[in-house]
Amino acid sequence: MSGFLEELLGEKLVTGGGEEVDVHSLSARGISLLGLYFGCSLSAPCAQLSASLAAFYGRLRGDAAAGPGAGAGPGPGAGAAAEPEPRRRLEIVFVSSDQDQRQWQDFVRDMPWLALPYKEKHRKLKLWNKYRISNIPSLIFLDATTGKVVCRNGLLVIRDDPEGLEFPWGPKPFREVIAGPLLRNNGQSLESSSLEGSHVGVYFSAHWCPPCRSLTRVLVESYRKIKEAGQKFEIIFVSADRSEDSFKQYFSEMPWLAVPYTDEARRSRLNRLYGIQGIPTLIVLDPQGEVITRQGRVEVLNDEDCREFPWHPKPVLELSDSNAVQLNEGPCLVLFVDSEDDGESEAAKQLIQPIAEKIIAKYKAKEEEAPLLFFVAGEDDMTDSLRDYTNLPEAAPLLTILDMSARAKYVMDVEEITPAIVEAFVNDFLAEKLKPEPI
Amino acid sequence: MAETKIIYHMDEEETPYLVKLPVAPERVTLADFKNVLSNRPVHAYKFFFKSMDQDFGVVKEEISADNARLPCFNGRVVSWLVLAEGAHSDAGSQATDGHGDLPPPLERMGGIGDSRPPSFHPNVASSRDGMDNETGTESMVSHRRERARRRNRDEAARANGHPRGGRRRDLGLPPDSASTALSSELESSSFVDSDEEDNTSRLSSSTEQSTSSRLIRKHKRRRRKQRLRQADRASSFSSITDSTMSLNIITVTLNMERHHFLGISIVGQSNDRGDGGIYIGSIMRGGAVAADGRIEPGDMLLQVNDVNFENMSNDDAVRVLREIVSQTGPISLTVAKCWDPTPRSYFTVPRADPVRPIDPAAWLSHTAALTGALPRYELEEAPLTVKSDMAAVVRVMQLPDSGLEIRDRMWLKITIANAVIGADVVDWLYTRVEGFKERREARKYASSMLKRGFLRHTVNKVTFSEQCYYVFGDLCSSEWGLGGGALGRPAPAALTHCPLPPDLEALNLNSGSSGASDQDTLAPLPHPAPWPLGQGYPYQYPGPPPCFPPAYQDPGFSYGSGSAGSQQSEGSRSSGSARSAGGSSRRALGREQERRGPGAGGSGSESDHTAPSGAGGSGWRERPASQLSRGGSPHSQASAAAPGLPPLHPLTKAYSVVGGPPGGPPVRELAAVPPELTGSRQSFQKAMGNPCEFFVDIM
């Protein structure tokens, strides 16, 4: 299935030494796991990661370190003859945010793995969007044959499993990962099997983190309300505290369960399972352990009375202060409407909903995340500032696709918006037929 | 020539109207009719026509498709216009709508989407859900386009013959009366009337609600509502509530032997729920942190040496930090890495506040942009050279059409209102100001602008960098003035994101020998000890109008007065008062003028006390730099008026801007910023008590 890899990475990659490598040769060499390393030479944390990643890479590929150079040239790939043992066919590709080619070259030179060519800026952005990268350094692992994300949080893997013992770190069911005793803040301990039949909120949080403390206060209320409404619901606190004392102090405010602080391995596995990079994060699971929403925090803040619990994601969101952060996650279709006109935002929602549902379903079938989020934006300060930020025409309704991370916008400035127009717009966007304007 | 008469009844008005269309009766369409009604909100109406039904005889037939022929008897069409249900045409906003009719803002001139006719057809026919007959749609669209063009012409003609904005300007009417005039003009053509609204519901109860299968633009131009800022919202959605912390925590141990100072500034965050931690604000070159490289701006400081900040107030944390920095030995800092990798490229949600200019001058241009009444400055009259007064260069630079991109930007979690990028400034100077042989020289010039305080770095870095954001020094101080003055309650949300809150205070945390060169600029300017505000005010407002204090306390009011100011300044400008009047009121938001009433020209009163050389409207170019600090801020005016103060010290002004209106409740006590920037715990607390960002420099 080199098709996937080529679609993802293009035809050529380069080695640190500067030789080109055909992407299709990767699958020929039996690469089964692909790590995408998002970084930048200017970032000291990236430099630090590079060092530990190099050690990890060397260990995992076997000490003979079959380089990517596939034999040719003086690069680290000279030892291609030493075929790594089958289960450890890992390749890493560095995806750089560098703005200066010389710095990039200097940085890449020491890398034993491959890199996306410097000039492939566009592809870099696409990768950022596709995998919703929000931070550097980031390391994600993909199944090289199917393209499925194996682990979003490669950094944790490197830290927690430096020997690669748990390779290939594929996702496991929640039930399996959570298995073990859970605590209440009164010291009582119960088995994770008691979660059977409940919706579960997995709450990643820490006391040192001010936004977490804020959310906890809200969440305590939400938890109570959901329970009072007769729902079977439990929250499990997965601490990111820096000491057990902090954990205890923080947990004492929480009426729900926690993974014991001492069970670091389980906490880390949960982090990895959901690719947690920032806190607070609240992930809501259905009783089968399947993710309903990763945006539990937004939902809790938005829906104080928890009327919409368990917060199945809506195909179309109304843009609000609290969900606007999602605008940064990747391309978003935003339909601006004149909310003074009663019913127009509702009408707008109904207009794009079928299209959104179609796209979401299509990508879900491929087990991929939808490439677009869908928003309807009324008129408020938030919207005004978004318009300001993106410098949009002062018109409503106005159909746009905003891609914050690519700093691109696509504006459909027409007077009348019909489903056909929206659909064509979206399809053109996905087919990359639209011409982006800079934000 | 063919002609069709249309007799139409508006809702329940007794007398019908008559219009004549230069179209043959057999070809007249609804679109033609709507065209001649261009001054009415045609989208809000349902159109009924006298028609003949085979079974019922004479009926009122509703027609909604624009290309539909109108039923015509003897060359006459009889029509009833009924306000559609759900369609709004509120009398209140019509006056404002009028503004929207003014020429579009300059920067968007010539855009395709500028003149859109209001169009809305609540036609049931087109509501077949999602299954639009394609050709129908298309023809409708093209039809409408055609109409838009025609309408455009009409409007141009009308504008020429009837320059509404111009008239207002010439009359020098206060904005209120201007809009009254406007709305009464509208009313005389009798299409907005609150009675009508009442009738609407009854009349249209039988009408169908509009469709969800399409959205159609109704207003030619969306107009911004001038919302009041709500302090309440500020506290319910604070940045603390919805920001995210990275799980990437690192500890860095710094050898302080080699680098004599730490070289970071920190920003404290807090809201009404408590302190929100302290963050790295900026990193100075030459410091230990910079040399290490792993800590970056935006990182949250969790621990210093063995002191964990987790359960500490920001106040205490800063104190501890200061203590540790003052001791010898290595320092280890533990930080949670900044969540946003490239904060600049990200849209950051404004917390509780629009990213809308709150400083007067920018508000004016903003308002002007919305109303289209942008005052024009003839740049060519003042060719700028390197020899021009720097203040003049800065002023031209800030004009809305200067070509320099000035806008609100987000840096870290902070909104920087009306910021420019260093590189843009250099480019601008290089291309617009004569006398630079090389770009390098322009850069140098920009650098001296920073030194002299015309530009300000957000965290007071003193070396000019093309990669940094800068704000205009004077604008900023007036911004603070507004904010500080307007506070009758917790700081308005706008201040939440300001890197330099009014009563900020820099702590000079030296570790051994400090970076001497930087210290200079950070050193406090002789602070005008707590300004008795009275000194400034009576001066400015002999006998403040009764409305003054409440107006001043209401941040929302400043928005209103912003637009008022723009009108006013225009008035004074085109009525022949000196250029400086226009210029200065632009800056000053016309705050004073507005209160003084329409008669007062801006320039006289202003130059009275601030500009010894600028009297009599001698033109902005000759104004001394100190004037730039006047702004709408009484406080900075006070400082400018104070004898013996150096003319250019925006930083100090930022400090000095505190306090409430005379007679109003004291907002925040005038922070007694001591001459040497020591960390006064008290004022620090005060700073933390409001939701402002807090800046502490540690050097």
Question: Can you read off the two tokens belonging to residue A44?
Answer: 């000291």
Closest CA to B221 of B101, B374, B87, B92: B101
| CB pairs A-B closer than 8 Å | 222
Q: Where are the beta strands (DSSP E) in B192-248?
A: 215-216, 245-246
Which residue does chain A place closest to B236, by CA atoms?
A301
Q: Note the pLDDT of residue A127.
A: 87
Question: Can you read off the two tokens belonging to residue B329?
Answer: 């030995």
User: Would you say residue A88 has pLDDT above 50?
Assistant: yes
Q: Does residue A190 sit at the B interface (CB-CB below 8 Å)?
A: no
Instruction: Quote the DSSP letter at residue B403.
Output: S
Q: How far is B241 from chain A (nearest CA, A)?
A: 5
What CATH fold (topology level) applies to the domain A174-302?
Glutaredoxin (3.40.30)
Q: Does residue A245 sit at the B interface (CB-CB below 8 Å)?
A: no
Instruction: Indicate yes or no: CB of B355 within 8 angstroms of CB of A418.
Output: no
| Domain ranges (residues) in chain A | 2-160, 174-302, 317-438
Spatial separation of the C-alpha atoms in residues A231 and A241, rounded to whole Å:
29
Contact A289, A193 (CB under 8 A): no
Instruction: Indicate yes or no: CB of A321 within 8 angstroms of CB of B352.
Output: yes
Rounded to 10 degrees, the C-alpha dihedral A381/A384/A385/A386 comes to 120
**Which of 307-326 (B) contact A at CB < 8 A?**
308-311
Contacts of B243 in chain A (CB under 8 A): 211
The stretch A328-338 carries a mean pLDDT of 86
Percent over 70 (pLDDT), chain A: 92
Contacts of B302 in chain A (CB under 8 A): 208, 242
Strands A281-285 and A149-151: unpaired
Q: Read off the pTM.
A: 0.51
Question: Nearest 5 degrees, angle CA B80-CA B85-CA B91?
Answer: 85
Spatial separation of the C-alpha atoms in residues A206 and B245, rounded to whole Å:
10
Q: How far is A278 from chain B (nearest CA, A)?
A: 4
Of B111, B242, B353, the CB nearest to A325: B242
Contacts of A249 in chain B (CB under 8 A): 311
Q: Note the pLDDT of residue B1.
A: 62
Q: Does residue A279 sit at the B interface (CB-CB below 8 Å)?
A: yes
Q: Does residue B224 sit at the A interface (CB-CB below 8 Å)?
A: yes
Q: How far is A10 from chain B (nearest CA, A)?
A: 25
**Which of 299-358 (A) contact B at CB < 8 A?**
301, 321-322, 324-325, 327-328, 335, 337-338, 340-344, 346-348, 350-351, 354
Q: Note the pLDDT of residue B681.
A: 30
Q: Note the pLDDT of residue B542.
A: 35
Indicate the SS3 state at residue B365: helix
The stretch A310-314 carries a mean pLDDT of 90
Q: Does residue B57 sit at the A interface (CB-CB below 8 Å)?
A: no
Q: Does residue A162 sit at the B interface (CB-CB below 8 Å)?
A: no
Question: Can you read off the two tokens belonging to residue B698?
Answer: 């540690």
| ipTM field | 0.73
Closest CA to B211 of A55, A417, A120: A417
Number of Cβ atoms within 10 Å of the Cβ of A222: 23
| Banded pLDDT at A332 (limits 50, 70, 90) | very high
Q: What is the 3-state secondary structure (H, E, C) of B69-117?
A: ECCCECCEEEEEEEECCCCCCCHHHHHHHHHHHCCCCHHHCCCCCCCCC
Q: Does residue B240 sit at the A interface (CB-CB below 8 Å)?
A: yes
The stretch A372-376 carries a mean pLDDT of 92
The stretch A185-208 carries a mean pLDDT of 93
Instruction: Indicate yes or no: CB of A45 within 8 angstroms of CB of B216.
Output: no
Q: Note the pLDDT of residue A374.
A: 94
Q: For residue A169, is it left (φ>0), alpha (ψ between -120 and 50) or beta?
A: left
- Blockwise average pLDDT, block size 10, chain B, 699 residues: 81 77 84 80 80 73 84 82 56 33 28 23 28 32 36 39 37 36 34 37 34 64 50 35 76 83 75 72 79 83 90 82 81 82 38 26 31 34 69 76 68 60 82 81 84 71 66 47 28 28 32 31 31 33 35 32 35 36 36 38 36 35 34 34 33 24 32 29 30 32
Spatial separation of the C-alpha atoms in residues B59 and A104, rounded to whole Å:
78
What CATH fold (topology level) applies to the domain B4-83?
Ribosomal Protein L25; Chain P (2.40.240)
DSSP string, B146-185: HHHHHHHHHHHHHHHH--HHHHHHHHT--HHHHHHHHHHH
What CATH fold (topology level) applies to the domain B382-472?
Arc Repressor Mutant, subunit A (1.10.10)
User: Would you say residue A438 has pLDDT above 70?
Assistant: yes
Instruction: Indicate yes or no: CB of A45 within 8 angstroms of CB of B248.
Output: yes
Q: Which residues pair with B162 in a beta bridge?
A: none
Of A135, A211, A417, the CB nearest to B341: A135
| Domain ranges (residues) in chain B | 4-83, 248-337, 382-472
Instruction: Indicate yes or no: CB of B241 within 8 angstroms of CB of A215.
Output: yes
Query: What's the distance, CA A405 to chain centroid?
Result: 13
Contacts of B132 in chain A (CB under 8 A): 418-420
Strands A317-318 and A408-412: unpaired
From 3.30.1240.10, 3.40.30.10, 3.40.640.10, 3.40.50.720, which CATH number describes the A2-160 domain?
3.40.30.10
Q: Note the pLDDT of residue B415.
A: 55
Return the half-sphere exposure (C-beta side, CA atoms, 13 A cut-off) of residue B105. Answer: 17
- Whole-number Cα distances in Å, A119 to A10, A50, B12: 12, 21, 69
Instruction: Indicate yes or no: CB of B111 within 8 angstroms of CB of A393.
Output: yes
Q: Does residue A432 sit at the B interface (CB-CB below 8 Å)?
A: no
Q: Note the pLDDT of residue A356.
A: 93
| Banded pLDDT at A251 (limits 50, 70, 90) | very high
- Whole-number Cα distances in Å, B74 to B3, B6, B26, B282: 11, 11, 10, 80
Instruction: Indicate yes or no: CB of A343 within 8 angstroms of CB of B221.
Output: no
pLDDT in tens, A278-299: 899 999 999 999 999 988 998 9
Query: A81-95, A126-140, B141-155: lowest mean pLDDT where?
Result: B141-155
The stretch A151-178 carries a mean pLDDT of 80
Spatial separation of the C-alpha atoms in residues A422 and A401, rounded to whole Å:
10
Instruction: Indicate yes or no: CB of B222 within 8 angstroms of CB of A413.
Output: no
Closest CA to B662 of B527, B491, B498, B546: B546
Instruction: Indicate yes or no: CB of A207 within 8 angstroms of CB of B112.
Output: no
Residue type at position B397: M
Q: Does residue A396 sit at the B interface (CB-CB below 8 Å)?
A: yes
Contact B285, B467 (CB under 8 A): no
- Whole-number Cα distances in Å, B348 to A408, A424, B382, B567: 15, 29, 39, 32
Q: Note the pLDDT of residue A309.
A: 92
More confident residue, B474 or A70: B474
CATH number of the structural domain A317-438: 3.40.30.10
Contacts of B225 in chain A (CB under 8 A): 379
Which residue does chain A place closest to B223, by CA atoms?
A394
Q: Note the pLDDT of residue B554.
A: 34
Q: Note the pLDDT of residue B642.
A: 34
Q: How far is A299 from chain B (nearest CA, A)?
A: 12
CB-based contacts of B151, cutoff 8 Å, min separation 6: B35, B38, B115, B117
User: Would you say residue A208 has pLDDT above 80?
Assistant: yes
Contacts of A350 in chain B (CB under 8 A): 212
CATH 2.30.29.30, domain B248-337, yes or no: no
Tokens 């002609």, residue located: B3
Closest CA to A162 of A248, A54, A249, A234: A54
Of A278, A335, A380, the CB nearest to B244: A278
**Which of 33-92 (A) contact B at CB < 8 A?**
43-45, 48
Q: Does residue B511 sit at the A interface (CB-CB below 8 Å)?
A: no
Q: Does residue B223 sit at the A interface (CB-CB below 8 Å)?
A: yes
Q: Note the pLDDT of residue B186.
A: 34
